Chains A and B, each alone.
Chain A
Amino acid sequence: MEMQQFYYDNKIVKKFIYATLLWGIVGFSVGLLLAFMFLFPNLTEGISWLSFGRLRPLHTNAVIFAFVGNAIFAGVYYSLQRLLKARMASNFLSNFNFWGWQLIIVAAAITLPLGITTSKEYAELEWPIDIAIALVWVAFGANMIWTILQRRQRHLYVAIWFYLATFVTVAVLHIFNSLELPVSFLKSYSVYAGVQDALVQWWYGHNAVAFFLTTPFLGLMYYFVPKAANRPVYSYRLSIVHFWSLIFIYIWAGPHHLLYSALPDWAQNLGVAFSVMLIAPSWGGMINGLLTLRGAWDKVRVDPVLKFMVVAITGYGMATFEGPMLSLKNVNAIAHFSDWIIAHVHVGALAWNGFLAFGMIYWLVPRLFKTNLYSVALANVHFWVGTLGIILYALPMYVAGFVQASMWKQFNPDGTLTYGNFLETVNEIIPMYWMRAIGGSMYILGALILLYNIIRTVRSGSDVTDELAEAVALTKVPSHRTKGEGYHTWLERKPVKLTIYATIAILIGGIVQIIPTLLVKSNIPTISSVKPYTPLELEGRDLYIREGCVGCHSQMIRPFRSEVERYGEYSKAGEYVYDHPFLWGSKRTGPDLHRVGQKYNDNWHLNHMYDPQSTSPGSIMPSYKWLIRNRLNKSATEDKMRAMVTLGVPYTDDEITNAQTSMNQQGKMIEESLYQDPDFVKNYEADKKYAKENGLEFIEMKDREIVAIIAYIQRLGTDIKVKDDQRITKK
């Protein structure tokens, strides 16, 4: 037995911990700012890069990829080295992983507020950043696998299986959801359209939750909970069973985000079935985590690390019980688009991810710095402030979601909607938004206490960047397992395995033959009256994407009496065939917009964008004054149309060459229609006069951004209305 001495790389772990703390506080703070925007909609009035629609993706990306992402890396880099009894294989790759990831986060923090976004949830970053993410992610995986190959412990502990699954699956998801056709350096269109784009997006989106927020954290749970409790995991066998079943089932559950949408029923039902099954492996993991503390509950009483972990695992259990419930179609009909979902994801993020990360940090930092935690009392304060913060956040949001969704569905005896005005249902839940903001503030307060405690701990400790360790070198496995027999001889004695291999062989053949054949044809019922957007509408749609309108407004009317009554004819798959990307949305802070076209006149939209409260008293929509002032950038319209042609949108060459003329004409028409309002004429002419007198450049209304967005909004959902009119005239 040869003893080998080597050094663990602690420096990389520390760097990731610092990044976790920094980005955590940034991500939470942006979230809090957004929470206050529900109460004071014009908090950041007139500052485009601080508007709600642009900050929402910044908040979700910062929390998921910056806070949770760095926590994953910190935990993996610490535990992987110790479980394998080996230093990370490459210092370069470790540092490339660290700095690359931070650069990506900075790039996100710059581009998202500037409105550079693909609009696909949790995948908003534009294509150059997507490529960078893929590179850094592969560097992480390569480093991990390389280290595994150099290990001194042959057996791979269950946590490592979770890390490996995370790496493989996130890579596949990220690459396929980010397939987009670049128009310019910072603009691209999703290669998928409408229903297809929605399906790919939620296949990705749900599995971002599964394989970025869940599997790596389960791996961390399997390492840090036993370590902190100094108890072996409750059942190693259960951990194996739940690992394999979890990763297999999770990847099918995506369509539960699209229930009652234009997605075909069989795909919806497939998603529901797998989502319901998910409760078994999820709770297997939760039970295994909690029962690890059997006989050690006295430690939970005194150790803040274990307290955080217990709440984290409990939060995981609650969120994964709720997930399958929310996937049932009758529950989903109520909860979808409401604040219920916001409560659900925050139980997951604040409790499971946040508290497990906090527990891990409280455990790691004293060990990395060879010292004791500066203040256990402060850690306890953090625990209680944070826990109460989560409760105060989640409970009001559950109430808000349920109340608002019930109001949306309430009918009078005469068959009219009781709350026909959407704003009535919004104003009803404002007190709940207040409580949420208070809960969120408490959670951030806790995080600041953590930061202070960690800074003091680090200062009192000593810096051990490379930690000396000793382990036995890897020995060869005796070959008695396979001695003296050929591979197939072995296989022939294993009927089950033989069957499995045979099935694989069949499936591969089937996939190769069937997929290309099927991909050619589309099975969306096409609607002949649905036509591509005009150039001006296309530009308006890009503004809709830039401003993040999709964060608060859905474009998907479900086939319910309450929704058809409120919004109009339910949405059909064939209406979205030219939507690259799809803009169905996942939350209705404001009303659905799929049939808003022609519902209000152009002046209404202009006034509404300028001052939403003037047209809709009590509205919590912020004003979009810059849209009314800015000149519309028409320089890339032809390129955009050509990109759309590549993606299968039937623009003719004539339409592309005449794009500028067409935009000019449509802009003029909208400008003329705006002249119907005497108030508009007065203000507009006064502005014109003022500019002339002072020698300032004057942008004509037809060239402004607002005209493009009005053109787009007025087009929404009208293609099939035209058909109805034609039918009536034929009679």
Chain B
Amino acid sequence: MSVIYLLLSLSILVALIFLIVFIYSVRKGQYDDTYTPSVRMLFDDELVKSNKKLTKN
């Protein structure tokens, strides 16, 4: 059973890592805009959309 202390500490550690990442991401402005990202991902950057063979230049 004493292994539960290891598991609890690992669980807390994982949670802490995510907490730190969360704080970091907030500070870096990840969540400043909660609308644009959901729309931006809908646009494609691929240049060729037709059924054409593409050659590397």
User: A residues engaging B (CB < 8 A)?
Assistant: 5, 7-8, 82-83, 85, 153, 155-158, 161, 164-165, 168-169, 172, 176, 192, 195-196, 199-200, 203, 223, 226-227, 230-233, 236-237, 240, 244, 247-248, 251-252, 254, 263-264, 267, 370-371, 461-462, 464, 466-471, 477, 481, 497, 500, 504, 507, 511, 514-515, 518-524, 573
Contacts and interface: CB of A to CB of B under 8 A. Distances in A.
A236 B46 contact: no
12 contacts: A5-B47, A172-B10, A176-B10, A199-B4, A227-B41, A248-B15, A263-B1, A462-B51, A462-B53, A464-B48, A515-B9, A523-B1
Given A165-B18, A176-B10, A251-B11, A264 B1 contact: yes
Contacts of B44: 82
Nearest to A83: B41
Given A82-B44, A155-B30, A236-B35, A252 B11 contact: yes
A523 B21 CA distance: 35
Contacts of A521: 2
Contact of B2 (A168, A196, A470): A196
B28 to A, nearest CB: 8
A519 B48 contact: no
A233 B38 contact: yes
A523 B7 CA distance: 15
A85 B46 CA distance: 10
A514 B41 contact: no
B54 A467 contact: yes
Given A153-B40, A232-B41, A481-B29, 19 more contacts: A155-B33, A157-B37, A237-B34, A240-B34, A244-B18, A244-B22, A251-B11, A252-B11, A267-B1, A370-B48, A370-B49, A370-B50, A370-B51, A371-B51, A462-B52, A467-B48, A471-B45, A515-B5, A573-B1
A522 B1 contact: yes
A263 B3 CA distance: 12
Contacts of A469: 45-47
A457 to B, nearest CB: 13
A551 to B, nearest CB: 24
A169 B19 contact: no
A176 B8 CA distance: 12
B4 A267 contact: yes
Contacts of B7: 176, 199-200, 203, 254
Given A156-B30, A507-B16, A523-B1, A232 B42 contact: yes
A100 B9 CA distance: 31
A120 B10 CA distance: 20
B38 A464 contact: no
B17 A223 contact: no
The 8 closest A-B pairs by CB, nearest first: A232-B38, A196-B3, A469-B45, A236-B38, A237-B34, A236-B34, A518-B5, A511-B9
Contacts of A7: 56
Nearest to B51: A370
Contacts of A518: 2, 5
A467 B18 CA distance: 34
B50 A226 contact: no
A468 B46 contact: yes
Interface residues of B, number: 49
A201 to B, nearest CB: 11
A85 B45 contact: yes
A730 to B, nearest CB: 31
Nearest to A468: B47
Given A158-B37, A468-B54, A470-B47, A226 B42 contact: yes
Contact of A168 (B6, B17, B31, B48): B17
B31 A240 contact: yes
B16 A236 contact: no
A473 to B, nearest CB: 13
A540 B28 CA distance: 58
A647 B36 CA distance: 55
A157 B1 contact: no
A370 B34 contact: no
A251 B16 CA distance: 12
Contacts of B6: 176, 515, 519
Contacts of A497: 23
Contacts of A470: 45, 47
Nearest to B31: A240
Contacts of A158: 37
Contact of B37 (A236, A514, A519, A573): A236
Contacts of A85: 45
B48 to A, nearest CB: 6
A199 B18 CA distance: 23
Contacts of A237: 34
Nearest to A247: B18
Given A168-B17, A172-B14, A226 B38 contact: yes
B34 A169 contact: no
B26 to A, nearest CB: 9
A163 to B, nearest CB: 13
Nearest to B9: A511
A522 B46 contact: no
Nearest to B56: A466
Contacts of B40: 153, 155, 157
B24 to A, nearest CB: 11
Contacts of B52: 370, 462
Contact of B1 (A5, A370, A468, A524): A524
Contacts of A5: 47
**Of B34, B38, B47, most A-chain CB atoms within 10 Å:** B38
Contact of A504 (B16, B35, B37, B53): B16
Contacts of A523: 1-2
Contacts of A522: 1-2
A666 to B, nearest CB: 32
Contacts of B20: 504
**Of A8, A247, A371, most B-chain CB atoms within 10 Å:** A247
Contacts of B11: 203, 251-252
Nearest to B46: A469
Contacts of A227: 41-42
A189 to B, nearest CB: 15
B49 to A, nearest CB: 8
B42 A468 contact: no
A275 B10 CA distance: 18
Contacts of A481: 27, 29
Contacts of A514: 5
Contacts of B5: 514-515, 518-519
**Of A192, A199, A468, A523, most B-chain CB atoms within 10 Å:** A468
A169 to B, nearest CB: 6
A178 B37 CA distance: 39
